[in-house]
A and B are shown apart, each in its own frame.
Chain A
Amino acid sequence: MKADPRGVLTGVHFIDGDHACCEGALAAGARFAAGYPITPSTEVVERFASRVPTVGGTFIQMEDELAASIALQGAVWGGAKAFTVTSGPGFSLMMEHIGYAAMTETPCVFVNVQRGGPSTGLPTLPAQADMMQARWGSHGDYEVIALCPNSPQECFDLTIKAFNLAEEFRVPVMFMMDEVVGHMTEKVVIPAADEIEVVPRKHTHKSTKEYLPYQTNGNPVPEMAHAGEGYNFHVTGLTHDERGYPNMTPQTQDKLVRRLQSKVRAATDRIAMFEEEHLGDAEVAVVSYGITSRVAQRAVDLARQRGVKVGKLRLITAWPFPENKIKEVASRVKALVVPELNLGQMVREVERAAGGQAKTFAVSHAGGGVHDPQEILRVIEEANQCR
C-alpha cells in the first residue's frame, strides 16, 4: 500500500532528527500521538501537534508517560496508527505498557531519544544506555523490534520502517534515537507519497461470527479487529487463549508466550538491517549503531590510512539481535571492536554471538558526548595486535 499523500511533506528539507522522525510517522500513516514533555524528545510531538490537525488526526498531551503509553494503544484498537515519544526517565515509566503491547499484540511505535542516565542524568546530552532496557525492560518473556537511526534522513526512513514492522508483526517497535541524532540538522529528502511503501493493519476479513482475536492459522501473527465493528472481542493483558479469554494454565502460557517470542525470532534475518564496508579483507571489524557509527566511521577511515585491515558493520536493527550476521563476520576476522555510549550493553550480545570465534573489545563511554575517534582508533590498533 502507498502512503496517504496528506501526511507526506514531499521535498528536500533541512531539519533535525526529531522533526524528521515526526515526518516519518506522518508519512507512515500515524494519525495519533500521545506524549508527555521530556528533553530531548519533545520536538517530535511538538511538530506532530502542529502538523496533525491539518492532516486529520489527533495529538494529546497526557498527564504522564504512563498515560501516554497506554492512550496510544487505546487509539490503535480504535483504528489508528499511533506512537509515543519519550526519553530516559519517561521510557522507564512506559515499560509496563511495552509489555502490555507485546502481550496484547498491539502494533505501535515507542520513540526513545536516548539521553544520559541513570535517573535524570544528562537531560540534554546523548547516551545509548537504554539498549538493554528496550529489549528487557518490561517483565516476562517477550520480543520487540528495535531500530537505530544515525542521521535525520534515517530518522525519517526508519520511522516508516518501524511502523511497517509494528503492523507486520503486531509488536511494539522501539525507535532508539539519541540526543545527537535527534538534534542534528541535515538534509532530509522526503519522496513522493507513491514512492513510500506502507504496511496496512492486518485487519481480519472474517465475519463477526467466525473471528477469534488470537487465532493464528499457520501464520504466527493473528488478525486484528477494531472496536466498533461488531466483533465483540476481548483484549486482556492476562494470559489468554485464542478467544482472547483469560486462561491461566501453564499450557496456555507456554503456547502464547512461545508464539509471542517466535513470531519475531523466527524472522530475525528478515528483520535484520545492517550496513557494511571494507569487510571483505578485514581482520578487525568495528560493530556500532546509532550516532556512534558515525564516529566509528572516522576511526575506521583513519585506521585504513594507517594500513590496518579494518571493516565496519553498522547495526540498523538492534533487536532482534542479528546473531547470524555477527557469527558470520566473527568467523572471518580476528577481533570485533564495539564502541557504544554506555558501559557495555550490545557488546555482550556481540561477544555471545561471536561465540569465541573472534576476540571482542568494548569501547565504552558513559555518555554526555560522543566518542573521540582517536579512542576507537586506539582500540582498533590494539585489537589488530591480537592473534
Chain B
Amino acid sequence: MPVDETVNPVEPFLRSDRMPHIWCPGCGIGTTVNCFARALIESKIDLQSLALVSGIGCTGRVAGYVKLDSFHTTHGRAIPFATGLKLANPKLNVVVYSGDGDLAAIGGNHLIHAARRNIDLKVICVNNLIYAMTGGQTAPTTPGHATTSTNPYGTFEPAFNLPHLVEAAGAVYIARWTTFHVRQLARSMSEAFSKKGFSFIEVISPCPTLYQRRNKMGDGLDTMKYYKEKSKTRHGAPTNEVGLTLNGEIVVGKFVDRDRPDYEAMMRGQYVEALGDRYVECGEMVCS
C-alpha cells in the first residue's frame, strides 16, 4: 500500500466506514492499532498475506476495524483458529489480536500450547487487567486488591504474569509495553513480524470505564501519566521479575528474543526423516 501523505497513516488500514469505533474515551486499544499500522508500514510486510484473528471482548473488535482479511472468532479461540489458518496456508502472516481475558483465561490453554508448538503466530495481547466488555469482572491478570464487579471487596487471587507464562511455555519473542510507549510498541510489533515462531507482545492499556474508575485511578489520561511515571524499561529482564501490582512499577521492554525451530520446520523435518520422498509438502491448500 503506498503511503499517502494527505491522510492519517493509520487510515489505509482501517475500515473507515465503520468509524467511530465502540471503544470508550481514554481506552488504549485504538492507540495499539496505531502502533500496529506503523509497524505494518515500517516492516513493509505484504498486506495481502496478512490475516488478523481476534477472539471476543473489547480488543476482539480490532478484527472488525482493520482492512485486512480479519476474523472475529469465538471467546478464547482466536489462537486455535489462527493455527488452522496458518497450517492450511503457510504463506499467510497470521496475527492474533485479542485481550487478556480472552487469551489468558478462557483461551489460556491454547496460549500455552501454541507457545509450546512454536507455531508462527504474532500474538498481540492488549491487557487492560479486567473483563471490560462484560462490565468489569475479575480477569486472571487483575492485580491483587483491585476492586472489580465480581470481587467487590477486592481481588485476592494471584494474577498471571503473562510474559513469564509464555516464556515457560516456549515463545521465542516476548515484549511488554504500555500504551504510553507507542514508538517502542510499534518497533516490537515490527520485530515480531520478522521473527519466525510464536511471538507475544503484551500491551498494558487503560480501561478508564471499568478498571480505573472502580479503583479510583482517574481517567485514561491519568493512567497514561501513571504509565509514564511508573514504567521502567529493562530489556532482557528475567520474566519472573516482571509481575504487575496494583500501583507499582511496570517493567517494560523486550524480555525474550531467542530462536528455536517453529512448528512447520519441525513438522517438515520429522516427515522428511520418516517418509523421505513419500512426503508431500502441503503448500497452499486451495480447493478450487
Contact = CB atoms under 8 A, between A and B. Distances in A.
Real binding pair? yes
Nearest to B109: A63
B72 A236 contact: yes
B84 A73 contact: yes
Contacts of A67: 77, 79-80, 83, 109-110, 113
A235 B70 contact: yes
Contacts of B92: 78, 227-228
Interface in B80-94: 80-89, 91-92
Interface stretch (B24-32, B97-105, B236-244, B277-285): B277-285
A232 B84 contact: no
Nearest to A62: B80
Contacts of B63: 234, 236
| A contacts with B: majority SS | mixed
Interface string B163-174: 000000000000
Contact of B88 (A75, A96, A100, A237): A75
Given A56-B280, A100-B73, A227 B85 contact: yes
Nearest to B82: A74
B19 interface: no
Nearest to B71: A235
B23 interface: no
A234 B64 contact: yes
A168 to B, nearest CB: 13
A31 interface: yes
Contacts of A74: 53, 71, 80-86, 88
B84 A72 contact: yes
Contact of B89 (A34, A81, A226): A226
Given A34-B84, A236-B63, A78 B89 contact: yes
A115 B158 CA distance: 40
A229 B48 contact: yes
Contacts of A73: 81, 84
A245 interface: yes
A54 B88 contact: no
B7 interface: no
B74 A32 contact: no
B275 interface: yes
Contacts of A229: 48, 69
A58 B70 contact: no
A136 interface: no
B51 interface: yes
Nearest to B270: A53
B249 to A, nearest CB: 34
Contacts of A79: 88-89, 284-287
Nearest to A68: B80
Contacts of B279: 53-54
Nearest to A54: B278
Nearest to B46: A228
B74 A237 contact: yes
Contacts of A70: 73-74, 77, 80-81, 84
A232 B83 contact: no
A189 B38 CA distance: 57
Given A96-B74, A228-B49, A78 B275 contact: no
B280 A53 contact: yes
A246 B51 CA distance: 18
B15 interface: yes
Contacts of A6: 280
Nearest to A167: B287
Nearest to A53: B271
B11 to A, nearest CB: 14
Interface of A: 1, 6, 29, 31-32, 34, 53-58, 60, 62-64, 66-68, 70-82, 96-97, 100, 200-201, 203, 226-238, 245-246
Given A6-B280, A82-B88, A245-B15, 5 more contacts: A66-B77, A67-B83, A67-B110, A234-B71, A245-B18
16 contacts: A29-B287, A32-B84, A53-B280, A68-B80, A74-B88, A75-B87, A78-B89, A80-B285, A226-B286, A228-B48, A228-B89, A229-B48, A233-B69, A237-B73, A238-B72, A245-B64
